[in-house]
């Protein structure tokens, strides 16, 4: 199977799902303070998704995932499970990953939040993760090869002496949470699918302050860095347009435009 090109009516639904995903991330920010538990954060997001937005969490029950969002703190790379014994504390860096379904179509995005005063390294890691995503989005337009995304992310991240996690990648998204193809965050020239208008996929680099290796914890979900170094991730769902891409999960406080014209 290859890339699905979305129809106009599907694109309309994906814009809606993307916007709703972004709104969850905007809504939760003010709650992310020391001493809130990750279970409470999960519950606030769940209630907002279900009761205010009349949507569904795509994570809840996905291959048995027990909660509505993923919360990944410090050395947790991804898929952290919210739990009532785990409190946010000053200095933490926290990834909130939100995936929703509205009118049968998915939205998927994540971002980092710094709790109180964080270290210079933490801030730099988060900034490099976000900038690596932004740089890749500024390349996307019809005619470019998929591996260009991974190439620019890897070059930028490694140029900053951080490493790119290889085990998890971006993905096509639409009626299904995960569709073809895999969007790698490192260079692989075999990844030579040519982007076309109407494709929708996520880009979601995970980067580590230490080496790239990761380990899965006994709960079967939580992924940590093997060397216990810090990890950061940003994710957007994007639509390839005629001259660039639209960030379907764009949030109000971002330093990149929602609609990118990529004419280089």
User: At closest approach, how far in Å is the CB of 202 from Co ion?
Assistant: 4
Residues found near ligand MF3 in the complex (CB under 6 A): 59, 62-63, 65, 70, 79, 97, 99, 108, 202, 204, 235
φ, ψ of residue 230 to 5 degrees: the values are: -70, 155
User: At closest approach, how far in Å is the CB of 236 from Co ion?
Assistant: 9
Question: What, of Co ion, ligand MF3, none, does residue 96 touch, CB below 5 to 8 Å by kind?
Answer: none
- Between CA 73 and CA 217 the distance in angstroms is 14
User: At closest approach, how far in Å is the CB of 243 from ligand MF3?
Assistant: 27
Question: What element of type H or E holds 197?
Answer: none
User: At closest approach, how far in Å is the CB of 196 from Co ion?
Assistant: 20
- Between CA 190 and CA 201 the distance in angstroms is 18
* Residue 104 half-sphere exposure toward CB, CA atoms < 13 A: 4
Tell me whether residue 42 or residue 202 sits nearer to Co ion (CB atom).
202
Quickly list H helices, 179-251.
none
Q: What is the token pair recorded at 101?
A: 């379904």
Q: Is 182 annotated as a binding residue?
A: no
Tell me whether residue 160 or residue 176 sits nearer to ligand MF3 (CB atom).
176
Q: Are 94 and 64 in contact (CB under 8 A)?
A: no
| Closest to 96 measured CA to CA, from 67, 125, 118 | 67
Q: Is 108 annotated as a binding residue?
A: yes
Residues found near Co ion in the complex (CB under 5 A): 108, 202
Q: Is 97 annotated as a binding residue?
A: yes
Tell me whether residue 108 or residue 151 sits nearer to ligand MF3 (CB atom).
108
Question: What, of Co ion, ligand MF3, none, does residue 59 touch, CB below 5 to 8 Å by kind?
Answer: ligand MF3
Tell me whether residue 75 or residue 108 sits nearer to Co ion (CB atom).
108
* Residue 68 half-sphere exposure toward CB, CA atoms < 13 A: 20
Write the CB contacts of 196 (distance below 8 Å, at least 6 apart in sequence).
3, 5, 142, 240
User: At closest approach, how far in Å is the CB of 263 from ligand MF3?
Assistant: 29
Q: Is 79 annotated as a binding residue?
A: yes
Q: Quote helix, strand, coil % in the chain, to nearest 5.
A: 30, 25, 45
Tell me whether residue 10 or residue 204 sits nearer to ligand MF3 (CB atom).
204
Question: What, of Co ion, ligand MF3, none, does residue 234 touch, CB below 5 to 8 Å by kind?
Answer: none
Q: Is 204 annotated as a binding residue?
A: yes
- β-pairing, 244-247 vs 236-240, is antiparallel
- β-pairing, 76-78 vs 56-57, is unpaired
Tell me whether residue 23 or residue 108 sits nearer to Co ion (CB atom).
108
DSSP type of residue 258: S
Question: What, of Co ion, ligand MF3, none, does residue 65 touch, CB below 5 to 8 Å by kind?
Answer: ligand MF3
User: At closest approach, how far in Å is the CB of 235 from ligand MF3?
Assistant: 6
User: Binding site: residue ranges?
Assistant: 79, 97, 108, 171, 178, 204, 235
User: Binding site for substrate: residue ranges?
Assistant: 79, 178
């Amino acid at each position: 199977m290859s890339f699905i090109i979305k129809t106009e009516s599907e694109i309309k639904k994906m814009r809606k799902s993307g916007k709703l995903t972004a709104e969850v991330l905007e809504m939760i920010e003010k709650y992310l303070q020391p001493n809130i538990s990750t279970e409470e954060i999960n519950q606030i997001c769940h209630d907002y998704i279900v009761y205010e937005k009349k949507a569904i969490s795509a994570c809840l029950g996905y291959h048995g995932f027990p909660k509505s969002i993923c919360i990944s703190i410090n050395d947790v790379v991804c898929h952290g499970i919210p739990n009532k014994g785990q409190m946010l504390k000053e200095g933490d860096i926290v990834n909130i990953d939100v995936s929703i379904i509205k009118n049968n179509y998915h939205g998927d995005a994540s971002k980092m939040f710094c709790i109180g005063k964080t270290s210079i390294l933490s801030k730099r890691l988060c900034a490099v993760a976000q900038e690596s995503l932004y740089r890749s989005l500024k390349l996307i337009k019809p005619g470019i090869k998929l591996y260009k995304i991974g190439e620019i992310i890897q070059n930028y991240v490694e140029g900053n002496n951080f490493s790119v996690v290889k085990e998890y990648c971006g993905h096509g998204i639409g009626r299904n949470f995960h569709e073809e193809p895999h969007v790698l965050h490192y260079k692989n020239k075999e990844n030579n699918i040519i982007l076309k208008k109407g494709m929708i996929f996520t880009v979601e680099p995970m980067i580590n302050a230490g080496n790239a290796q990761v380990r899965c914890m006994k709960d079967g979900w939580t992924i940590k860095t093997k060397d216990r170094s810090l990890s950061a991730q940003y994710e957007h769902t994007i639509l390839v347009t005629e001259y660039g891409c639209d960030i379907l999960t764009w949030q109000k406080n971002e330093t990149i435009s929602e609609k990118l014209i990529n004419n280089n």
